[in-house]
Amino acid sequence: MTAKVISVCNLKGGVGKTTLVMALAEYLAGDTMYGQRVLAIDLDPQSNLTTALMSEEVWEWQYNNRGLTLPFLFKNYEYFLANGN
Ligand SMILES: Nc1ncnc2c1ncn2[C@@H]1O[C@H](COP(=O)(O)OP(=O)(O)O)[C@@H](O)[C@H]1O
Ligand SMILES: [Mg+2]
C-alpha cells in the first residue's frame, strides 16, 4: 500500500494550519474511523505541532529540564527521533 501525502502549507500564520493537521491526524489514526498509521511531519521551526503532540511530562523532563530548546530539536531531529515519544 502506498502512503498518501497531505500537505498543509500557507505563508500566513494563525490561519489554522497546525490545528487542522492535528485534527486530521487524530481523525485518520482513530480506531473508530480509519485506524490508519499516520506520520505527522512538522516543518515549522516554531514546532507547535511537535509540542502539541508531545505529552507535558515528556516535554518537561526530557527536554525543557535539560535546557533543550525548540530550535535545538528542530535542527537536531536525529536526537528527537532517538529520544522522543
Ligand atoms: N476552526 C477554527 N475555529 C476557531 N479557531 C481556530 C480554528 N482553527 C484554529 N483556530 C485557532 O486559531 C489560532 C491559530 O491556529 P494555528 O493552527 O496555530 O494556526 P497556524 O498553524 O496557521 O499558525 C489558534 O489559537 C487556534 O486555536
Ligand atoms: Mg502552526
Residue pLDDT, tens place only, 69-80:
888 888 887 877
- The reported pTM is 0.83
| Count of positions (residues) in the chain | 85
Q: Is 52 in the pocket of ligand 1 (CB under 6 A)?
A: no
- Which residue puts its alpha carbon closest to atom 10 of ligand 1? 16
pLDDT grade for 55, boundaries at 50, 70 and 90: confident
pLDDT of residue 25: 92
CA distances from 58 to 12, 35, 55, 66 (A): 30, 25, 5, 11
- Report whether residue 13 contacts ligand 1, using a CB cutoff of 6 Å: yes
What phi-psi label fits residue 42: left (phi over 0), alpha (psi between -120 and 50 degrees) or beta?
beta
Assess whether the C-beta atom of 11 lies below 6 angstroms from ligand 1.
no
Q: Taking CA 48 as the corner, what is the angle to CA 44 and CA 54, rounded to the nearest 5 degrees? A: 125
